[in-house]
Amino acid sequence: MPDKIKVGMADWKIARNQDSLVTFGLGSCVALTLWDAKEKIAAMAHIMLPDSKLVRYRQEVNAAKFADTALITMLAELNKLGVSKDRFQAKVVGGANMFTFVGKAIGGNMNIGQRNVLAVKEELLRYTIPLVSEDTCGTSGRSVEFYADSGVLRIRTAMFGERDI
């Protein structure tokens, strides 16, 4: 039986072969996935905020919570397992802006969802990891499942059903 490994908010996990990674309730949060096609290794982070430097508390926090700390942490850990970053391809999902009123997004010109997406893409550029597909922004929340054997990322929304990227 393949395992469905749950990735909570601000968390990240690895899956191999037949197993998959799932995370649900991506509103303005972003799921970043990495996949090594040769070794059938998948990783997924559930990122909440664009910038770790903007938070007001300084306690132990999950690196996967922030766009600017998630990728570097994932790459370092995966490197320890002998996976080279050069084989990874990335997908990015989420960053919705679910609440709008009278044509105006809550939170000004650029909402948190949009900022999350941009920050994650910036990190991918920095580490030269190719972004092969994305399903970002919009107004719908998303739940995703990422399959380690195929690299398929299945996206589910409340109103529009399922689609794979």
Site of interaction with another protein (CB under 8 A): 8-11, 24-29, 48-49, 54-57, 59, 61-62, 65, 96, 98-102, 104, 106-107, 112-113, 139-143, 157-159
DSSP 91: E
* Catalytic member of 5, 15, 29, 93: 29
Q: How far is the CB of 8 from another protein (least distance, A)?
A: 6
DSSP 92: E
SS (H, E, C) 35-46: EECCCCEEEEEE
Distance CA 17, CA 135 (A): 24
- The count of other CB atoms within 10 Å of the CB of residue 82 is 8
29 among known catalytic residues: yes
Of 33 and 62, CB closest to another protein: 62
| Cα-trace Rg, the chain | 15
Q: How far is the CB of 74 from another protein (least distance, A)?
A: 17
Q: How far is the CB of 40 from another protein (least distance, A)?
A: 28
Of 49 and 75, CB closest to another protein: 49
Of 34 and 49, CB closest to another protein: 49
Distance CA 68, CA 160 (A): 31
Residues known to be catalytic: 29
